[in-house]
Structure 1
Amino acid sequence: MADHYDDLETRDPSEREAALFARLPDILRQAAKAPVYAERLMGIDLAGVTSREALAKLPVLRKAELPGLQKAALPFGGFVSGAPGSFGRLFTSPGPIFEPETSLPDPWRSARGLYAAGFRKGDVVLNTFSYHLTPGGFIMDSGARALGCAVIPAGPGNTEQQFELIEAYRPAAYCGTPDFLKILLDGAAAAGRDLSSIRRALVSGAAFPKSLQEEFSAKGIEAYQAYATADLGFIAYESAAREGLVVNEDIILEIVRPGTGDPVSEGEVGEIVVTTLDPHHPFIRFALGDLTAAMAGGSPCGRTNMRIKGWMGRADQATKVKGMFVRPEQVAEIGRRHPELGRLRLVVTREGETDVMTLNAETAVPSEALASAVGTTLHGIAKLKGEVTFSSPGSLPNDGKVIADERRYD
């Protein structure tokens, strides 16, 4: 049984990087056919965007912006050049956000992640992600069928009927949330039903703690997790090495400082930004609002692409202080105006019945004059006063938090 889906997974990282960025200018030209991308990319030498440094200069599109943009220009907000009828399927997910599916085989790039989880041609797969309006069910379904698997489109719920399907079709593999797999296993044990055919699983959409992984393993099921979204499909997936998630092929993943488009150094927690190389529906620097950190080196499983630590929280840390919203973008602007500062963390607390802001800033050159200047900038940007404290470079927590709301209302 081959360990890898194809040779792309084990190529030299520099070869992969060169191949991705050789394709990127054509993808950008394709994206620029859509009205909003044409405006966002206006004046940029698209042929010259052939490196991460050049890509980092392009504007970020935040997922939080999509509902408003799409509402203003239904259905796709001017980011897609094709009409709805040119796609294979049309979905919606909470927001609402409208998502088209291309007619290509494996349109969500999920086959590779399923293969890493042990799914193989001829397997029967129980797919319990929803097929109703949202793309979740079809993301897994299309990838499994691209591998040559037969798929039971079960969707979530209806456990009694699912027991009947499992006992009849004897699926070897499961797709769905880890929570629902546990519900099935516990329910089957209580009802005396036979789910022993399921030996592997690909789970997503909910936390998958080590304790639950071990519980499944004790029942003979090796379960792996994937990081996927309704917009982009599979972004990263776990392999047998179980050391982080391997970034999918055919996408460019950046990790940036929340509230900015500025890439962070390796190992630093930041927001996930993805550029896809799908000419039919490209996303250019799409910021997902999720936090992660890159891991050094290739995976022990032999895959050489970038690895991430998985989901580590949300980058959208906007919070209301004294009735006014303070956002990560505002904290980032303070850093831009004071380049002598390093990592920043705005802490919001309560003193008595009053909200209090304190900006903690890393710097090698602390002074009262700098504190006063930064405090003035904070007030000018946030329209709220706050204290400024300094700490040595590298001393603030590496958790991606730009705004920490520590208020308690006990």
Structure 2
Amino acid sequence: MIFNREMETLPREDMEALQLKRLQQSVRHVYENVPFYREKFAEKGLTPEDIQSLDDLKKLPFTVKKDLRNNYPFGLFAVDQSKVVRLHASSGTSGKPTVVGYTRNDIDNWAEIVARAIAAAGGKPGEVLHNAYGYGLFTGGLGLHYGSEKLGMATVPVSGGNTERQIMLIEDFKPTVICGTPSYILNIVETMEKMGKNPQESSLKYGIFGAEPWSMEMRHELENRLGIKAVDIYGLSEVIGPGVAIECAEAQDGLHIQEDHFLVEVIDPETLENVPDGVEGELVFTSLTKEAMPVIRYRTGDVASITHEPCVCGRTTVRMSRVKGRIDDMLIIRGINVFPSEIENVLLQIEELEPHYQLVLTRKGPLDDVQLNVEIDRDVFYALSGDLNHDKIKTIARDIKRQLKNQCFIAIEVNILAPGAIPRSEGKAVRIIDKRKAASV
């Protein structure tokens, strides 16, 4: 079953007509109900009547995360508080969190969006879905939960953590779909293997992974060790939550955007101009159906590209590439720009390593310094009697540096650690440890 096949295969002209109608409604909604947007429109000399085509989207102002924080908690809401039925918020690691609200209709639309996504990924009514995304203010857990139920799947709201218990539930409830961050699902796989179990013998057939950038090599690692087909899901709370886009199980080649609910652009983050299909830039989303807190041209900070090319699955929706990283996560190592996911792609091709790493940023005088921590493969470690000073370890370190130089064009110090030395994640993986501020104090 493909959920809402008619909407996902609309001819381009019909989809764009629907998008324009909904864009005009959304622009008028924020103009009439959100002082922040009314002021931003006035600065540009705009009114809702100026939006007569999808090309007019470029006339509208951008929204950035700082705008959400400056209007904390409810300043960007477009409906009366009495119509808001749920609140979510970011983790708020620096200052106030970003807060988003949902009306009953928003919740229903979100459930349908995620149901479509799960169906595209291989989920089917009557089967079981194991949801290892965190529940709470984070949108991941509840977002997948409501979509799974909407599709008609029996949903296991296990959340993150308590890994051995998760393994027991997978064995006993026999889910066909598992959802979570790729780093935590890898943690589950490793724990299964330590318990003497074969992950490939589980009932799982499909994995829906996201909430952190992950490489193609990580996909292959998870697929090979779990015996599943793994797809990437994309979303962010400021736009609605998970389900904004997802890969289809048939192609696993670009994430289908739910275009009847979201308009996507890709811009050059320096010039703020739109870039052509296939060119990487910053993803920008405009919500078309959100009632409680619509966003206009929200700059996500995520780096990707889009394509209008048709997909083998038959869907006609625009696809976005897998997110390469966040603009603010990009590292500059001796003048070379690189994302952690590019480093991961290299590391997971080296058989002598476990699929875990961390980048430690420090400062030496006026310059930033980067050290890469990796783990040696468990079998190699035991074969060398746990000697991390062995010549074999030094050879592997040199090979890592050579591969990173050849593929990422960076020179970086490599520190090889024992298996299990890098902390495992029960949610989003911590790939970057920034000690620069501490070093400058």
TM-score over 0.5 (shorter chain): yes
Q: Which residue of 2 aligns with 1:101?
A: 102
> What residue ranges of structure 2 are gaps of 5+ in the alignment?
333-364, 369-438
Aligned-residue Cα RMSD (Å) equals 2.7
> Deviations 1:292-333 (Å, cap 9, x if unpaired)?
11225122221111122121233358999xxxxxxxxxxxxx
Per the alignment, in what secondary structure is the counterpart of residue 171 of structure 1? coil
Per the alignment, in what secondary structure is the counterpart of residue 252 of structure 1? strand
Code of the residue aligned with 1:152 in structure 2: it is V
Pick the aligned partner of 2:256 from 234, 246, 262: 246
Query: Greater RCO between the two (CA within 8 Å, min separation 6)?
Result: 2
Indicate whether 1:272 and 2:283 are aligned.
yes
1:236–1:246 CA contact under 8 A, matched in 2:
yes
What is the TM-score with the length of structure 1 in the denominator? 0.71
Q: Which residue of 1 aligns with 2:84?
A: 87
Q: Which residue of 1 aligns with 2:126?
A: 122
Return the alpha-carbon distance in structure 1 between the equivalents of residues 70 and 290 of structure 2: 24
Return the alpha-carbon distance in structure 2 between the equivalents of residues 255 and 210 of structure 1: 22
Would the alpha carbon gap of residues 31 and 353 (structure 1) be closer, same or farther in structure 2, given more than 3 Å must change? closer
Pick the aligned partner of 1:197 from 199, 203, 213: 203
Which runs of structure 2 are paired with 1:292-307 in the superposition (5 Å)? 292-307=304-319
1:254–1:263 CA contact under 8 A, matched in 2:
yes
Q: Which residue of 2 aligns with 1:23?
A: 22
Would the alpha carbon gap of residues 353 and 179 (structure 1) be closer, same or farther in structure 2, given more than 3 Å must change? closer
Q: Which residue of 2 aligns with 1:221?
A: 228
Per the alignment, in what secondary structure is the counterpart of residue 191 of structure 2? helix
Identity of aligned residues (%): 30
Q: Mean Cα displacement is larger for which, 257-266 or 230-239?
A: 257-266
> Deviations 1:353-397 (Å, cap 9, x if unpaired)?
699xxxxxxxxxxxxxxxxxxxxxxxxxxxxxxxxxxxxxxxxxx
Greater per-residue helix proportion: 2
Per the alignment, in what secondary structure is the counterpart of residue 244 of structure 2? strand
Code of the residue aligned with 1:40 in structure 2: it is K
Which runs of structure 2 are paired with 1:143-222 in the superposition (5 Å)? 143-193=147-197, 196-218=202-224, 219-222=226-229
Structure 1 segments, 4+ long, off by >4 Å, are 316-320, 352-355
Deviation at 1:85, TM superposition (A): 4.2
1:30–1:279 CA contact under 8 A, matched in 2:
no
Q: Which residue of 1 aligns with 2:48?
A: 46
Return the alpha-carbon distance in structure 2 between the equivalents of residues 312 and 212 of structure 1: 13
2:308–2:317 CA contact under 8 A, matched in 1:
no
Would the alpha carbon gap of residues 208 and 289 (structure 1) be closer, same or farther in structure 2, given more than 3 Å must change? closer
Q: How many residues align?
A: 319
Deviation at 1:255, TM superposition (A): 0.8
What is the TM-score with the length of structure 2 in the denominator? 0.67
Deviation at 1:276, TM superposition (A): 0.7
Pick the aligned partner of 1:142 from 137, 143, 146: 146
Deviation at 1:212, TM superposition (A): 2.9
Deviation at 1:216, TM superposition (A): 3.1
Deviation at 1:259, TM superposition (A): 4.0
> What residue ranges of structure 1 are gaps of 5+ in the alignment?
321-351, 356-408
Deviation at 1:278, TM superposition (A): 1.9
Q: Which residue of 1 aligns with 2:68?
A: 66
1:270–1:315 CA contact under 8 A, matched in 2:
no
Return the alpha-carbon distance in structure 1 between the equivalents of residues 367 and 198 of structure 2: 59
Pick the aligned partner of 2:301 from 289, 295, 304: 289
> Deviations 1:73-113 (Å, cap 9, x if unpaired)?
xx12x211224442222122133111223323242622221
